[in-house]
Amino acid sequence: MSHVMTTLLTGASGGIGLEMSRLLAARGHRLVLASRSAQKLEDLAAHLRRDYGVEAHGCAIDLSERGAAERLFDFTQTLNLPIDALVNNAGCGMLEEHVHADPEILRHMLQLNVVTLAELCRLYGAQMKQRRSGMILNVASTAAYQPAPYFAAYGASKSFVLNLSEALAKELEDFGVRVSCLSPGPTDTGFFDGFDPQRTAGGHFLAMKRRSSVQAVAEAGVQLMFGGGLSQVVGFRNQAMIFANRFAPRALVAAVSKSLLRPRDVEMRHPLFDENAEDKNV
Ligand SMILES: NC(=O)c1ccc[n+]([C@@H]2O[C@H](COP(=O)([O-])OP(=O)(O)OC[C@H]3O[C@@H](n4cnc5c(N)ncnc54)[C@H](OP(=O)(O)O)[C@@H]3O)[C@@H](O)[C@H]2O)c1
């Protein structure tokens, strides 16, 4: 009897993760689905069992809490299912001047995007290394490839994901474990809920019609994972932009990035230097 692969997928209840869960189920994977929304996970697991005939388990967990990686690991241990593939997809972002970011939201984002992801890679990567087989797919972003003013900590968190993934891929390649990193550009998911692209100076770059379809991104992720590539940027336009970035001075890239991402309501200059400021004698 052929081995049924078990995949642990974080951020499965919506967006890219939801679409990936269907693609993996279509390949016959047994799935462990993790995110915060218990009901959504239950409904998704039922849908995957019914429509794809696969085993599916939900784990409602807030991965932005300390110790969440260990709790998720313990959950899969109690299921007694060795995880063949780990997809670290859950993530969130914030558009804000870094110095005015809500400290609680900032901590949660970094814990989710950086700390939990690194811990899950460590916990499951160790098991995979011991078994001499396994796959890890981490979801970064095109924001990983250059400084992203006003998305500063989000972009930096995704640079961490990209660098960690590529380094880990090299550490584990001799042990039969493949690590890959997917970098989507703006994609049509709930990620942008409550966020008006027109608030940014280069809003057209983030506008709905410029976003990749969630299906295309999920398919690219699954293909990358099974193809064993190191890292991939999704979409020709995004690839071209990142390729061009390599040849430009970092200062120029940062300046262009700022001009595109700057929220229109952000004060640009100190009143001392602002010709229109009423009182320059601050
Ligand atoms: N959409 C884009 O434009 C874009 C571009 C580049 C990269 N990405 C990356 O792609 C990944 C997936 O994003 P998406 O676009 O699919 O976003 P999404 O539609 O907002 O989905 C995010 C998923 O992560 C889960 N999640 C969020 N916070 C969580 C937490 N604290 N604990 C556990 N699960 C949590 C959400 O489920 P619950 O709310 O149920 O917890 C949901 O399933 C993220 O890493 C994101 O940074 C997205």
Residues 6 or more apart whose Cβ sits within 8 Å of residue 51: 25
- pLDDT per residue as tens digits for the range 43-74: 999 999 999 999 999 999 999 999 999 999 99
d(CA 162, CA 6): 24
For position 36, what pLDDT does the model report? 98
> Is the pLDDT at 276 greater than 90, yes or no?
no
Q: How many CB atoms sit inside 10 A of residue 37's CB?
A: 14
pLDDT at residue 280 greater than cutoff 70: no
Q: Which residues have C-beta atoms less than 6 Å from ligand 1?
A: 11-17, 35-37, 40, 62-64, 89-93, 112, 139, 141, 184, 186-187, 189-191
Per-residue DSSP letter, 81: -
Residue 140 confidence (pLDDT) above 70: yes
pLDDT at residue 14 is higher than 90 = yes
Q: How many CB atoms lie within 10 A of CB 147?
A: 18
How far does residue 17's CA lie from ligand 1's centre (Å)? 8
Cα separation, 4 vs 16, whole angstroms: 23
pLDDT of 39 above 70: yes
Locate the ligand 1 atom nearest the alpha carbon of residue 36 and give its number: 41
8 CA to centre of ligand 1 in angstroms: 15
Span 214-258, pLDDT tens digits? 999 999 999 999 998 999 999 999 999 999 999 999 999 999 999
Q: Residue 166, class by beta-carbon neighbours within 10 Å (0-12 exposed, 13-18 middle, 19+ buried)?
A: middle
Quote the tokens at residue 128: 């995979």
CA of 149 to the centre of ligand 1 (A): 21
Q: Round to whole Å and give the CA distance between 233 and 104.
A: 30
pTM score of the predicted model: 0.94
Domain residue limits, the chain: 6-273
Q: Which atom of ligand 1 is nearest to the CA of 186?
A: 3
Nearest protein CA to atom 1 of ligand 1, as residue: 187
pLDDT in tens, 74-89: 999 999 999 999 999 9
Q: Which CATH architecture has domain 6-273?
A: 3-Layer(aba) Sandwich (3.40)
179, pLDDT greater than 70:
yes
Ligand 1 geometric centre to CA of 18 (Å): 10
Cβ proximity of 220 and 89 under 8 Å: no
- Confidence at residue 137, expressed as pLDDT on a 0 to 100 scale: 98
Q: Record the tokens describing residue 260, joined without a space.
A: 């595109």
Atom of ligand 1 nearest to the CA of 211: 3
43's enclosing H/E stretch is: helix 38-52
